[in-house]
Amino acid sequence: MLMKIVTIIGARPQIIKAAALSRTIRACYSDKIQETIVHTGQHYDENMSQVFFDELDIPRPDYNLHVGSATHGVQTARMTEGIEDILLKEHPDFIVLYGDTNSTLAGAVAAAKIHVPIVHIEAGLRSFNKAMPEEINRIVCDHCSTLLFTPTQAGLENLKHEGFPFGNEGPYSIDNPKVYHCGDIMYDNSLHFSELAEAKTDIVKRQNLNGKPYILATIHRDSNTDHPERLSAIFASLLQMAEDSPIVLPLHPRTAKLLKTNLDKTLQEQIFNTQNINIIPPVSFLEMVALERHAQLVMTDSGGVQKEAYFFQKPCIILRPETEWVEIVETGAALLADANEHRIMEAWTHFKADPPRQFPAIFGDGHAAEFILNEMLQQEM
């Protein structure tokens, strides 16, 4: 009998993550698993959504809820309503949820209330900072899940501390959940798409960065974009760093909008008049991988980009006070600099003089998707 799953995607990183599972289903499990893809429409610009379907060969969503942007409550409510309708119609064996966005939260609430078992991929991560909307989303999702797949050892430990059972027997349910440590599906993706990125994109050349040591930066966290003093500290640092190295900054639409209101006017002029800072629209995943592979250093507040810096053995300055990916800081490959100009410049000086050389395997073996699908198929339904 075919196992039926409904996959929820909505935000950029989830669309990219979903490529790993969908690809593996088509390659190895098409006779065992039928996947229905639901796009909530949380991200909708061409370069935040469609580009990934085209480039990463992700099947076209079976449903699109087109919820768009709104406040947390309104956006989550619209998605919850739409997802509930689809679950009632489709009767899947599992709903698959990724990460910690509002699309994840909506999927968790909709599914748990009508008893559809949840598979949470990227479970167990914690920042221990509940001011982050993502921290609320991931806690709710983990505690409503039946199968939890943690990408890292830290994720596993966090779930232990929260009282999740270990070594328990099936059948598994929301009240008897099963926790697995499986590695990171984004590591699967980075390995899979790495060579293709070299062959199919010329962004490094187009940005005139061939052979030059350059910095790749991304900024989108609400904790940075929504606070003028934090946003200005980050851009003041970029301005100083640009004296040493060119900077390429594919800008998230949230930041592009808030830059105009929240960034000090003089600084805005300086940033836009500096040749060495190249602010560009969001790039495709293959272009991002190419930019990461050739960069001297990555500076970001993104969860995904932090990890990819590590996958491609680049030093990373994290523009947050804490991270869920604690292992990359523990190895010395990344430094937490918050949105603090002094700490950012210290980190830059440190990495220029002494770039990290050790990148132990933290994120599995590149086969997390097979592991997850195999375990799902073992479940009694």
Active-site amino acid positions: 220
Q: For residue 220, how many C-alpha atoms fall within 13 Å in the half-sphere facing its CB? A: 18
Which one of the spans 76-84, 261-269, 304-312, 340-348 is the region binding ligand UDP (CB under 6 A)?
Answer: 304-312
Residue 288, binding choice from ligand UDP, ligand UD1, none, Cβ under 5 to 8 Å by partner class? ligand UDP
Q: Considering only residues 35, 55, 93, 134, which one is a binding residue for ligand UD1 as defined by CB under 6 A?
A: 134
Site string for ligand UD1, 5-34 (x = CB under 6 A): ------xxx---------------------
Contact between 44 and ligand UD1 per CB under 6 A: yes
- Nearer to ligand UD1 (CB atom), residue 12 or residue 143: 12
Residue 354, binding choice from ligand UD1, ligand UDP, none, Cβ under 5 to 8 Å by partner class? none
Residue 16, binding choice from ligand UD1, ligand UDP, none, Cβ under 5 to 8 Å by partner class? ligand UDP
- Nearer to ligand UD1 (CB atom), residue 29 or residue 98: 98
Residue 133, binding choice from ligand UD1, ligand UDP, none, Cβ under 5 to 8 Å by partner class? ligand UD1
Question: Which tokens sit at 192?
Answer: 């899979």
Contact between 18 and ligand UDP per CB under 6 A: no
Distance CA 203, CA 200 (A): 10
Q: How far is the CB of 107 from ligand UD1 (least distance, A)?
A: 12
Instruction: Report the site for ligand UDP in 32-61 (rule: CB under 6 A).
Output: none
The answer to whether 217 and 237 have CB atoms below 8 angstroms apart is no
DSSP 176: B
> What amino acid is encoded at 370 in this protein?
E
Site string for ligand UD1, 53-72 (x = CB under 6 A): ----------------x---
Contact between 151 and ligand UDP per CB under 6 A: no
> What amino acid is encoded at 156 in this protein?
L
DSSP 301: S
Place of tokens 């379907």: 53
Distance CA 8, CA 108 (A): 10
Contact between 102 and ligand UD1 per CB under 6 A: yes
Q: Long-range CB contacts (< 8 A, 24+ apart) of 330-335?
A: 331/356, 331/358, 331/359, 331/360, 331/362, 332/356, 332/358, 333/309, 333/358, 333/359, 334/306, 334/309, 334/310
Contact between 303 and ligand UDP per CB under 6 A: yes
DSSP 121: E
The answer to whether 337 and 347 have CB atoms below 8 angstroms apart is yes
